[in-house]
Amino acid sequence: MSIDYQETIPNNVNLGEDRRLQRALEKWQPGYLDWWRDSGPEQSSEMDVYLRTAISVEAGGWANYSHVRMPDYRWGIFLAPPEADRKINFGMHKGEPAWQEVPGEYRAELRRLIVTQGDTEPASVEQQRRLGKTCPSLYDLRNLFQVNVEEGRHLWAMVYLLHAYFGRDGREEAEEMLARHSGDPDKPRILGAFNEPTPEWLSFFMFTFFTDRDGKFQLAALAESGLDPLSRTCRFMLTEEAHHMFVGETGVDRIVKRTVELMREHKTDDVRKFGAIDLPTLQKYINFHYSISLDLFGQEISTNAANYFTMGLKGRYRETEIDDDHTLTEDAYEVPEIREGAIVAAQAPALTAINERLRNDYVEDCQRGVDKWNRTIRQAGVDFELKLPHHAFHREIGAFSSAHASPEGRIVDEGDWNSNEGLWLPSIEDKAYVDSLMGAVTEPGKFANWIAPPGKGVYGQPLDFDYVRFN
Ligand code: BYC
């Protein structure tokens, strides 16, 4: 079904046939647009940006590219096509038909999951608000805006579910989405990582690599949901999410490439002299963004997660491909613990360890990206390896939150932590240095000195294409 962009709210959910819902969403829309103006990408309202807009949800149909005047971007509601006779694939309702309405007994849990998911979307736009001013190229500026408009659309996706399935409470929650703000001391965003600033582009690339990847895994787990509209929404969101992680992975890779190029050219590790970001600094940024993203998976042992699973609301990553009974009532899973100052593996009921399992799937996926960056380093003949720090490092949620650990996973005391923190995480000087490199590069085909150009342009366009037109 192709999407009608003449409608006030483009959609493929037959919104026109549900006047009440349509009116409720049209009432929410001006508040959203105000929020975008006040909290979305700064000074973007005069720009025409080469954006991908979904025109249908069928394969290929969501990839339609053209220059769009930023404030005229049309955020719509798009669900992946329904799957005939879809069943619930896990938990106590396994084998029953998927729900087309919210079961009354699971209303509170579903609302909470949807609100938590929805809250992250506008949060990330707020975090990235000022990056446009210091873009390393027009290509990157365009990618930033693409990510931003899609996060805005993901908010619409969750707000649609709240309005369509949760009545008055849902409408109130939708209002709250625009009332909380990233880093606001009085009304912060719900999850920790979404209150951290994204002040410059190195942080942006790390965020889209590590934190958007949490999005991939959480959305994949929600795509397994017994609530069919939630599953269909998340399936379509995942197609968009892939681009965000591409931006992160290739962004960091291009920085690495430029760094090792300068290291070779000048036969030195100290590339700061040449205006690039040295590998030890990149390692510190990895340590930070990876560890705060690990926290987003919740505690290792979680009754919330066990309940969501048993109720059929949130599954595991690629649930149907896992070879077990999908109820997990008898199974065990390994979880880490700190015992007598050492990290040990303990067995826990698999049901309560659902968060840990999803985190482990995430870790594996992160490692694949880090391996690619290391390949770029090796190809330049440089002897250095970027590493994911140990999962105990710099954690605020779960078993490790009560202790300090080194990136290698050694439990350390407060004094040790304090004297090493600046070596393990970006120090004030590191941040100031990275900040000092940022400055807008807006000539088509030109790139900032600290980052290599990408291998190719967007959708077959050349690198010197005018991806953003300033009016
Ligand atoms: N920060 O039982 P536990 C994305 C709370 S990213 C603050 O382990 P649970 C995106 C927790 O709420 C994906 N609080 O929790 C990326 C609970 O509170 P109560 C977002 C935290 O429920 C980039 C308590 O601690 N989607 O899409 O099993 C750009 C006990 O914890 C945190 C989702 O997260 C934290 N990090 O797991 C744009 C999916 N962690 O009950 C977008 C929906 C835990 O004591 N959310 N707490 O009041 C969920 O599935 C779950 O809420 C969580 C937490 C996995 C996050």
What digits encode the pLDDT tens for the residues 229-271?
Answer: 999 999 999 999 999 999 999 999 999 999 999 999 999 999 9
CB atoms near residue 39 (< 10 Å): 17
* Any ligand 1 atom below 6 A from CB of 120: yes
* Any ligand 1 atom below 6 A from CB of 306: no
Q: What are phi and psi of 77, to 5 degrees?
A: -115, 110
Residue 299 parent element (H or E): none
Residue ID of nearest Cα to ligand 1 atom 38 = 121
Is 1 a residue whose pLDDT tops 70? no
* Any ligand 1 atom below 6 A from CB of 302: yes
* Any ligand 1 atom below 6 A from CB of 103: no
Average confidence (pLDDT) over 344-350: 97
CA of 350 to the centre of ligand 1 (A): 19
The residue length of the chain stands at 471
Average confidence (pLDDT) over 82-91: 97
Which atom belonging to ligand 1 lies closest to the Cα atom of 358? 55
Query: 17-62, pLDDT tens digit by residue?
Result: 999 999 999 999 999 999 999 999 998 988 999 999 877 777 666 6
CA of 191 to the centre of ligand 1 (A): 6
Q: Which residues contact 381 (CB under 8 A, 6 or more apart)?
A: 264
Q: What is the spatial distance between Cα 254 and Cα 7, in angstroms, rounded to a whole number?
A: 40
CA 166: distance to chain centroid?
25
Q: What is the pTM of this model?
A: 0.97
